[in-house]
Amino acid sequence: MIYTNNTAKEVIKASQITAKWQCDSDRRQLAAFAYDMYNGLYQEYLNEKIDQDVDSQGDESELKTCIDSADMLANITKDISLVFAEPFEVSVVDKSGEVKDDQTAALNEILKKANKDVVATEINRLTNLFFDMTAIPVTRNGKIEIDLITPNRSFITGNMYDQTNADKFYYQIGEMPNDQKNNSRSDIYMECDTEGKRLVIISGAEGKERKILPYTDAEYADFEDTTKYPFNPATTFRNYLNISSYWHTGLNPLVSKSLTHDQRLTEYNLAKVYQQPLLVSYGLSDDQKITIGHKSRVNVPPNAMQGKQDVQYVTPDQKLLDLMKTLETDSKETKLAHHMSESMVTGTTATSGYQLWLQKAELLHWNQSQRKYYTEPLRQLCLNIMALSNQYKGLGGSFSEGLDVQIQYGDQKFIETPDERIKRQAQEMMSGTRNLVDIEIENSGGTLEREDALKIVMDRVKEKRDISALNAPAFEVASTEE
C-alpha cells in the first residue's frame, strides 16, 4: 500500500513538472510573438489572423495581397522609453559612502567600452515591451560586454522560499541564425548563479519534462566563468514589482493591439484597390472590343438592357475617408494611453526647445517615475561587472572588497534661447513661484551660493536706486515774495 501511494505521488509530481514545462513553453512562445512583432516580422501572424477572422467571407486571398503594417508596437515602445534619454552616471563608494575616485573612473571606463548608454536604452525599450528583460556581463574580445537576454530565450529554476526569485537562470546560446557554415543547435544553454556561468544541455521534447545535463564537448569550453558574483549574473530589469512570479504573467496588450491595427490597415489597403474606377459596359456582347481606356470590364448582357447600350466608369463607394479616420483615431487613442501628448501624436512642430519640453512633459514625468524600478538592477549589474573584472585581470580594473555603487540619472535638457529664458523667468516671478535670487542663481549656472546671489541682487537694487536719484529733475521752491 505504501508502494502504491508513493507511485501515485511520483506520477502526480511528474505530471505537475510536465505542466510547468508546458506553461513555461507557452510563456516563451508569447515572448517570441512579441519580439517578432517588435522587429517587424508580422506577416506570418497577420496571415494567421486573417485566416481566423475572414475565412467565412471567402476573400482572404485578396486581403493577403494587401498586407501592411503601421509598426505601431515598435514606434510607440521606442517613443515612450526615455528613462535613459540623458546618460546616467555611476559612482563607486566605500562603506561610509565616500566616493572612490580611482575606482569610479575604472568602472566608468569599463562601462564606456561596453557601450552602456546604448545598452541602457535597449534595456528600457525591451523592458517596456516584455516587462522582464535580463542583462548579463560577459568577457569577449578582451573586454567586458553586456549581453541582453530576451524572455523567449530563457527560463529559471525557482527558489523554494521565494517564488519571485531564481536559484538558477538559463539562457539559450546555441542558435546561430546568421552563421552559414555551421549547423545551429537549440539545446545549448548557459546556467547562471552566484558561483558563475557554465554550459548545460537541455534534453527532452518541448513542453515536456526536460533534463538539464552538463555540457561535455570542447567547442564552447571557453564560455565557462568561475567568478563568485555578489548577485546572480543574470540581472533582470522590470517596470513593475513582481509579487507572485519571477516572470510577468501575460502578454503586453500593445502587441495584440498592434496586430489588430495592422489588420485594419490591410483592409483599408484592399478598399483602396476596390476604389479604382471600374469599366462597366451595358448591352454589349462579351467579345465587343473596347479601343480606349481599361480593356478589362464588367459587362451587363444585352438581354438585360432591352436593346440599350452604354459604357461608363463606376467608382465604388468604400468610404475611404471614414476608414482612414478610424485608423487615425485608433492610433491616436493608443498613443495618448501611453503618456504621449496631443501635440506629439498630431505632429505639431515645436517652435522652441522649451515648447518641445512642454510637449513631452507628461511622458518625461512618467519616465522619471519609472527610474526607481531600474536603480537596484543597475546597481547589481555594476557590482557583478566589478566582480567579473576582478576575476579576469586586464579587463579594466581591480576593485577592493566592500565597495558599493550609486546611480545618478541625467536630467532631461532642452534648448532655450535667451529671450525665451527671460520671458519664462518673468512669468515665474509674476506667478510668485520664483524671486530675483532664484533667477540670479539660475543665470549663474548654479555656481552661486544663495547668500552671494542675494548680495548681487541687493547691490543691483541699490545701484538702480542711486541712478534713479541722479536722473530725477530738480524742482525749485517758488518764491512768495513780491
Domain count across the chain: 3
Average pLDDT in the 456-476 region? 79
Which of 179-183, 204-208, 451-455 is modeled with the greatest confidence? 451-455
Residue 140 lies inside a defined structural domain of this protein: yes
Instruction: Give the Cα separation of 183 and 185 in Å (integer).
Output: 7
The reply to whether 427 and 292 lie within a common domain is no
Q: Is the pLDDT of residue 74 over 70?
A: yes
Average pLDDT in the 229-246 region? 95
Residue 349 lies inside a defined structural domain of this protein: no
Three-class SS of 207-258: CCCCEEEECCCCCCHHHCECCCCCCCCCEEEECCCCCCCCCCCCCCHHHHHH
- For the chain, how are helix, strand and coil distributed in percent, rounded to 5? 50, 15, 35
The continuous run of DSSP H or E covering 150 comes out as none
Cell numbers given for 86: 540623458
Higher-pLDDT residue of 99, 161: 99
Residue 355 lies inside a defined structural domain of this protein: no
Instruction: Give the Cα separation of 43 and 49 in Å (integer).
Output: 10
The reply to whether 226 and 104 lie within a common domain is yes
Query: Which residue, among 196, 117, 202, 119, has the nearest Cα to 155 in the 3D structure?
Result: 202
Residue 350 lies inside a defined structural domain of this protein: no
Cell numbers given for 231: 548577485
Instruction: Please report the pLDDT score of residue 24 as a whole number.
Output: 85
The reply to whether 200 and 70 lie within a common domain is yes
The continuous run of DSSP H or E covering 177 comes out as none
The reply to whether 179 and 63 lie within a common domain is yes
Residue 356 lies inside a defined structural domain of this protein: no
The reply to whether 109 and 221 lie within a common domain is yes
Average pLDDT in the 62-91 region? 91
The reply to whether 291 and 229 lie within a common domain is no
Q: Are 385 and 107 in contact (CB under 8 A)?
A: yes
Identity of the residue numbered 274:
Y
Instruction: Give the Cα separation of 257 and 42 in Å (integer).
Output: 13
The reply to whether 143 and 178 lie within a common domain is yes
Instruction: Give the Cα separation of 351 and 358 in Å (integer).
Output: 11
pLDDT in tens, 116-140: 999 999 999 999 999 999 999 999 8
Average pLDDT in the 268-296 region? 71
Cell numbers given for 186: 537549440
- Residue 202's beta-bridge partner residues? 212
Residue 258 lies inside a defined structural domain of this protein: no
Q: Is 392 exposed, middle or buried (0-12, 13-18, 19+ CB in 10 A)?
A: middle
Please give the C-alpha separations between residue 458 and each of 131, 153, 436, 461, in angstroms, as whole numbers: 54, 65, 10, 5
The reply to whether 59 and 204 lie within a common domain is yes
Residue 334 lies inside a defined structural domain of this protein: no
Instruction: Give the Cα separation of 139 and 102 in Å (integer).
Output: 22
pLDDT in tens, 304-325: 556 677 766 666 666 778 888 8
Q: Is the pLDDT of residue 475 over 70?
A: no
Cα Rg, the chain, nearest whole Å: 34
Question: Angle 253-274/72-80 helices, nearest 10 degrees?
Answer: 130
Instruction: Please report the pLDDT score of residue 2 as a whole number.
Output: 46
Alpha-carbon torsion (205, 206, 207, 213), positive or negative? positive
Query: Which residue, among 177, 194, 195, has the nearest Cα to 186 in the 3D structure?
Result: 177
Q: Are 132 and 248 in contact (CB under 8 A)?
A: yes
The reply to whether 292 and 422 lie within a common domain is no
The reply to whether 46 and 186 lie within a common domain is yes
pLDDT in tens, 142-186: 899 999 999 999 999 988 888 899 999 999 986 666 666 666 678
Instruction: Give the Cα separation of 394 and 206 in Å (integer).
Output: 41
Q: Which residues lie closer than 8 Å to 285 by C-beta, 6 or more apart?
A: 302
Which range of residues forms the domain containing residue 454?
418-469
The phi and psi torsions of 198 (rounded to 5 degrees) equal: -150, 155
Residue 261 lies inside a defined structural domain of this protein: no
Higher-pLDDT residue of 66, 280: 66
Cell numbers given for 279: 469599366
The reply to whether 150 and 291 lie within a common domain is no
The reply to whether 26 and 124 lie within a common domain is yes
pLDDT in tens, 324-352: 888 888 888 888 888 887 777 776 655 55
Q: Please state whether beta strands 298-300 and 278-282 pair in parallel, antiparallel, or not at all (unpaired).
A: parallel
Higher-pLDDT residue of 173, 227: 227
Task: Give the chain's mean pLDDT.
Answer: 83
Reading phi first (left if > 0) and then psi (alpha if -120 to 50, else beta), residue 13 is in: alpha
pTM beyond cutoff 0.85: no
